[in-house]
Structure 1
C-alpha cells in the first residue's frame, strides 16, 4: 500500500514535470513572404485565404505562390493549428476538392524548412512559414492579427 506522503510526492513531481514541459519553447512559427509582397501584416482570415488557395494575388497584384511542408510535419501541424486555426486534414480536404473539381490547385510542398526559406526568398510573391528567427533580407516576416 502506498502512503499518502508518497502519493503527494508523486503528484508534486508530476505537476512540476508538466509545468516544465509546458514552458519549453517549441518554436514560434513565423508567417513569411518574399520581400516584395508589399504588406507587413495579414489578418488570420487573409492568411487562411492564401493557404487555402482562395486568395491568389497580393494587394500589389503580384501572383501569390504558396509553399507548405508535408502534412505530417510537426511545424506544418503547429502552423495550421495556431496561426490558421485549422487542422492539416482540413487544409488537405480544401486542396483536394479544388484539384478534383478542376477549380484550383494545391500549394507547392517543400521537403524541409531550409528549402521553404530558400524558395520563399527566391520566388516573387511567395508565402510560407518557418520557425524563427529568420535572418534573410529577401524574406519578410508578416504579423498575423
Structure 2
C-alpha cells in the first residue's frame, strides 16, 4: 500500500471520529431532570414515596379523582436512566420489572412510552392528569414543574 492509501484511511478515520462525537453530544442533555405534569394537576409538590407509587403504576388517581396518566421515555434513553436514579432512587431495570409483573399478572398496566422529549412535552401538555419528566432545558410554559420533597 502506498502513502496515498494510508492518508485516505486516516482522513476517513478522523471523519468518522468527528461525526460520532457530534452525534453523541446531540443525544446528551444538561444533566438536570425535572418532574412535570399537565397544568391542570393540582399537585405542585410530591413526596418521593408518592412519586415512586405514581411511576410504579400503583397510584391510579390524583387527589381530585382525575386519572393519573404516566408517560416515560424508552428504557434505554439516557434521560430515563437519569430520572429513575435521581428522582426515584432505583435502576431502570427495577422499574421495568415492576411494570412487567403488573402487566403479566393482569393487575395493572405499563406507562405510555414516548420517543422524544418533544413528544413527552406535547403529550403531557395535552393530556389531563398526565405526569412525566424532561431535562431542564426542554421545559416551557405548556407544562407544570413539580417539586419533589425528600
Indicate the TM-score class for this superposition, using the shorter chain for normalisation.
0.7 to 0.9
**2 CA distance for matches of 1:119 and 1:105?**
18
Which residue of 2 is the match for residue 50 of structure 1?
54
Q: Among residues 117, 122, 130, which one is paired with 1:126 in the alignment? A: 130
**2 CA distance for matches of 1:60 and 1:132?**
28
Within a 5 Å distance, the mapping from 1:8-27 to structure 2 comes to 26-27=30-31
Which residue of 2 is the match for residue 135 of structure 1?
140
Q: TM-score, normalised by structure 1?
A: 0.80
Q: TM-score, normalised by structure 2?
A: 0.78
Which residue of 2 is the match for residue 103 of structure 1?
107
Unaligned runs of 5+ in 1: 1-24
1:27 CA displacement: 2.5
Unaligned runs of 5+ in 2: 1-28
Which residue of 2 is the match for residue 70 of structure 1?
74
1:59 CA displacement: 1.0
How many residue pairs get aligned? The number is 120
Contact 2:54 2:70 in 1 (8 A): yes
**1 CA distance for matches of 2:110 and 2:81?**
17
SS at 2:40 equivalent: helix
